[in-house]
Amino acid sequence: MSESFIPRVRPRRLRATPALRRAVSETRLHPSDLVLPIFVREGVDEPVAISSMPGVVQHTLDSVRGAVNEAAAAGIGGVMLFGVPEVRDAVGSGATDPDGILNLATRVVADEVGDALVVQTDLCLDEFTDHGHCGVLDAIGRVDNDATLERYREMALVQAASGSALLGLSGMMDGQVAAVREALDTSGFIDTAVLAYSAKYASAYYGPFREAVASTLQGDRRTYQLDPGNRREGLREAMIDIEEGADIVMVKPAGSYLDVLSDVAAASDVPVWAYQVSGEYAMIEAAAANGWIDRRRAVHESVVGIRRAGADTVLTYWATELAGWLNDGVVA
């Protein structure tokens, strides 16, 4: 190349200053794009640290009030509640007990911040069953899809009555959206929204979550969660859920499934969310603790990447903290 050659096209012009970079940014984060997953544990007097998720705790019914008020003050979009009961049984009875930990927590949170945040609840049996599966088992130990749907319908009514504005159907049972939607509508909960965990993969990245909910799972969930190698199947599941009446569809995990997320976002006519799961959180926290990466930049970049791939909203354990950075303008 001649020393006198002058490029005609100079894309770097638009990267020259922070102001220019902000002006042409294609993907922006806002606190309202974020949802905070929260664990509430029965039978504890103070929050319990989760060792594999530094900075995340199992809350008490009292401490969760502070957490959701902090989240509301930061302006995030909502909170997704998970219950951790003391007692479990084969059918997950605690999930449909109006005084079970998740339903109690829902009432507490809805009363505290229901006008400021979308109060959401995990609608699945795995935290409540002694075998740790997301459904009830048949006589030979397999998850019984249709019997599980009946339990989900019962859960939906109790959660809606407790004040949940959005039910997160995470069990990956066939027909779960249609079953829950019909139960809600016929019982007068026509305004309660349904979030379908449509493309939920059988992932190794859920490991720390098992500690967070004190999982009793033996074996795996490969007969109902998706195979990590299947891209088209993720889109197919989302389209089925939309047809059954899902108000929002979800891809989970987020970071390793950005192709599926992009496919779903391109095809969906309802909002598309993604869950940045516990293992994704733990890896960044571990690398940052070892000084291998810039924690703040890595957290921000990871969530921007999920939004860029097509997620309208991201569930992330950094939601409140990240929102604070966005509000303070320290991640521009």
The pairing of beta strand 48-49 with beta strand 57-59: antiparallel
Query: Which residues pair with residue 199 across a beta bridge?
Result: 251
Tokens representing residue 157 in the block: 């009514």
Q: Catalytic site residue 252?
A: yes
Catalytic residue among 200, 221, 300, 307: 200
**Can you give 175-220 as a three-state secondary structure string?**
CHHHHHHHHHHHCCCCCCEEEEEEEEECCHHHHHHHHHCCCCCCCC
Catalytic residue among 59, 252, 300, 307: 252
Tokens representing residue 51 in the block: 């060792």
Helix spans in the chain (H): 18-23, 63-74, 101-113, 145-162, 176-186, 207-212, 232-244, 258-267, 278-289, 295-309, 319-328
Tokens representing residue 327 in the block: 């509000």
In contact, 266 and 231? CB cutoff 8 Å: no
Q: 201-221: string of b/e by CB count within 10 Å (b at 16+)?
A: bebebbebbebbbbbeeeeeb
Q: Catalytic site residue 7?
A: no
Give me the active site residues, please. Answer: 200, 252
